[in-house]
Structures are given as structure tokens and as C-alpha cells.
């Protein structure tokens, strides 16, 4: 388990390289790195250079922490995330978020590429994540509680900030974006779902399914960070229409829909 000492060491390394620390962050999902081109005055630090940081191993996740401005708002961008299936503990998966919290992070926009379980969703749609179901085998808060960050038993009755969600819905309307809404189910991966598993995820209330996000949302809530979440629906995970797809297709669809998501995120900020 990562200690508070390691979190602070990573935070110190980063703070020595920047002039001021943003209070807002964005985590970019698979294929969503295009948002970086909208950043102004940015500088980046490779994850590999930051002490104790894990290393991104998935295509479509560059592995760099960027500091810049989006629509004149200073932001951290985590260009690449860590997944449980890469072999990391959930504690490692949320390490970057804890480092940013140590640097003063107050709100985070979490994005991902996901399969659409809701039959009304189409590939290329953007879904506002209203709630999560974690089907991970563990929890990022397992182990000794980091009292400096939050309570042992954090409330999760409103994992996403309702005010921020209302604003996102309003902005989507202004931009004629057909913003979908729903619950994201987080599985370990890396295998994709069988038809029976898709039926199960739908039955328990899922609208989208993926292999990330849920642990980040839990850790952010633990630390009192405001969260807004978006899934880019990259494929339809519906038994009737399910056909084989690849990670390359996921990255490709996310790349295209990413431009619309970037516009929405800019306005929401
Ligand atoms: O959730 P992100 O990181 O966007 O990536 C999604 O895309 C990958 C599968 O193609 C999985 O890692 C899944 O979780
Ligand atoms: N688990 C899972 N992750 C995804 N990431 C993108 N699409 C999918 C999907 O259909 N299932």
C-alpha cells in the first residue's frame, strides 16, 4: 500500500516543477488524449519521472501529467490512467488522484471509453455518469485509512456533484449535444463481457460498462473532491447486436467523439 510519505514525495516533485497548482483536474480515458490540443500554455511531466508513479501500459494512454489552461481555467490533465487489469492494486490506480489532492485539487472531471448497455445508446454518444456500480474485487480505500484525506466510511449517496451535472446538462443543450445519462458499471477486465454478463450488468441497472473510473470516483469522494464524469460510448454492448470489437476500434471511436466531449468540458469549466 502506498504511504502518505510516498504521496507527499510525488507531490513535492511535481510542485517543484510548476509555478502554481490548479484546483481542477481532468482524467482522460482511452483515446481521449485529443483534449490536450485544446490546452494553452501547457507543460508536461512524464509519469515515469515522478517518484512512485505507476507507468501507463495501455494503448491510447500516454502517461503524462500536464498543467495548462482550458478556457482560461488552470487545469491538471492526467493524460492516461491506470487500470486494475494492468496488474496494479487499486491503491496504485488512485495514486495520481491522491498526489493531486496533496497539491490542492478540489474538483475533477473523469472520462472514459465504455460499452453502451442501454439499447437507446449508439457508438459515438456521450453519457453523463450519474452513478456507479463497482464490481471490482476490492476497494481503493481498503487498508489503513488515510485520515489526512478523508473518513474511514465515506458517504457515497451523491458520488457526482449535482450542481456540476446540471451545468453540464445545460451546456449540452446549448450545444445541441444529445447528452445521454446513466450508471457506469466498472469491471476488472481485461476480457470483454460475455452475453450473459452484459445481461447481468443491464439487469442490475447499468447503462455503460468499462474497466476503470469506479475506483477513482470512490477515492475522490473519500477526499471530498467534487466529481463530474463522462463516458464516450465506443461500442454497443447489447447481446442482440453484440459483435466482436477491438481496443483499436474503441480508441478510434473515442478519438472522434472526443472532439465533442472536449467542447463540452471547456464550457463546463
Ligand atoms: O476506461 P478507459 O481507460 O477509458 O478504457 C476503456 O477502454 C479499454 C478497453 O478498450 C479499457 O481500459 C476500458 O476501461
Ligand atoms: N468492459 C468494457 N470496457 C469497454 N471499454 C470500451 N468498451 C467496453 C466494453 O464494451 N466493455
176: Cβ–Cβ under 8 A, 6 or more apart, which residues? none
Helix, strand, coil: what percent of the chain each, to 5? 35, 25, 40
Would you list which residues are annotated within the binding site for a purine D-ribonucleoside?
193, 235
Given the DSSP bridges, would you call strands 73-79 and 126-134 parallel, antiparallel or unpaired?
unpaired
Q: Which atom of ligand 1 is least distant from the CA of 32?
A: 4
Residue spans per domain, the chain? 4-268
Closest CA to ligand 2's atom 1: 210
What's this model's pTM, rounded to 2 decimal places?
0.95
Ligand 2: list residues with CB < 6 Å.
113-115, 187, 189, 192-193, 209-211, 234-235, 237, 250
What is the rounded CA–CA span in Å between residue 168 and residue 127? 11
Pairing of strands 40-46, 107-116: unpaired
For the purposes of burial, counting CB atoms within 10 Å of the CB of 16, is it exposed (0-12), middle (13-18) or buried (19 or more)? Answer: exposed
53: nearest Cα among 113, 2, 109: 2
pLDDT by residue for the chain (269 residues), tens digit each?
888 999 999 999 999 999 889 999 999 998 888 888 888 878 999 999 999 999 877 777 689 999 999 989 999 999 999 999 999 999 999 999 999 999 999 999 999 999 999 999 999 999 999 999 999 999 999 999 999 999 999 999 999 999 999 999 999 999 999 999 999 999 999 999 999 999 999 999 999 999 999 999 999 999 999 999 999 999 988 776 656 788 888 888 888 888 999 999 999 99
Q: Which of 85, 139, 199, 249 is catalytic?
A: 85
Ligand 1 geometric centre to CA of 26 (Å) = 16
* Three-class DSSP category at 61: coil
Neighbour tally for 248: CB within 10 Å: 11
Helix (H, G, I), strand (E, B) or coil at 231: strand
Residue 180 CB neighbours (<10 A)? 21
- Pick out the residues of the known binding site for phosphate: 30, 61, 81-83, 113, 212
Please give the number of the atom of ligand 1 that sits closest to the Cα of 232.
Answer: 4
Q: What is the pLDDT of residue 242?
A: 58
Q: Does domain 4-268 have CATH number 2.60.200.30?
A: no
Amino acid at each position: 500500500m502506498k504511504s502518505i510519505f510516498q504521496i507527499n514525495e510525488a507531490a513535492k516533485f511535481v510542485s517543484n516543477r510548476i509555478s502554481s497548482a490548479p484546483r481542477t483536474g481532468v482524467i482522460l480515458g482511452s483515446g481521449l488524449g485529443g483534449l490536450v490540443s485544446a490546452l494553452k500554455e501547457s507543460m508536461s511531466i512524464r509519469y515515469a519521472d515522478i517518484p512512485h508513479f505507476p507507468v501507463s501500459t495501455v494503448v491510447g494512454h500516454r502517461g503524462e501529467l500536464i498543467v495548462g489552461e482550458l478556457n482560461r481555467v488552470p487545469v491538471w490533465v492526467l493524460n492516461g490512467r491506470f487500470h486494475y487489469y494492468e496488474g496494479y492494486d487499486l491503491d496504485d490506480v488512485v495514486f495520481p488522484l491522491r498526489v493531486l489532492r496533496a497539491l490542492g485539487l478540489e474538483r475533477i472531471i473523469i472520462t472514459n471509453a465504455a460499452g453502451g448497455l442501454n439499447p437507446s445508446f449508439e457508438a459515438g454518444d456521450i453519457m453523463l455518469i450519474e452513478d456507479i456500480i463497482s464490481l471490482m474485487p476490492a476497494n481503493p480505500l481498503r487498508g489503513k485509512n488515510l485520515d489526512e484525506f478523508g473518513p474511514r466510511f465515506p458517504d457515497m449517496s451523491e458520488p457526482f456533484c449535482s450542481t456540476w451535472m446540471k451545468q453540464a446538462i445545460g451546456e449540452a443543450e446549448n450545444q445541441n449535444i444529445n447528452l445521454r445519462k446513466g450508471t457506469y458499471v466498472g469491471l476488472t477486465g481485461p476480457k470483454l463481457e460475455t452475453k450473459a454478463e452484459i445481461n447481468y450488468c443491464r439487469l442490475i441497472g447499468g447503462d455503460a460498462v468499462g474497466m476503470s473510473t469506479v475506483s477513482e470516483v470512490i477515492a475522490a469522494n473519500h477526499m471530498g473532491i467534487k466529481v463530474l464524469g463522462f463516458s464516450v460510448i465506443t461500442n454497443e454492448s447489447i447481446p442482440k447486436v453484440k459483435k466482436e470489437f477491438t481496443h483499436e476500434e474503441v480508441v478510434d471511436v473515442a478519438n472522434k467523439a472526443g472532439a465533442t466531449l472536449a467542447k463540452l468540458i471547456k464550457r463546463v469549466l
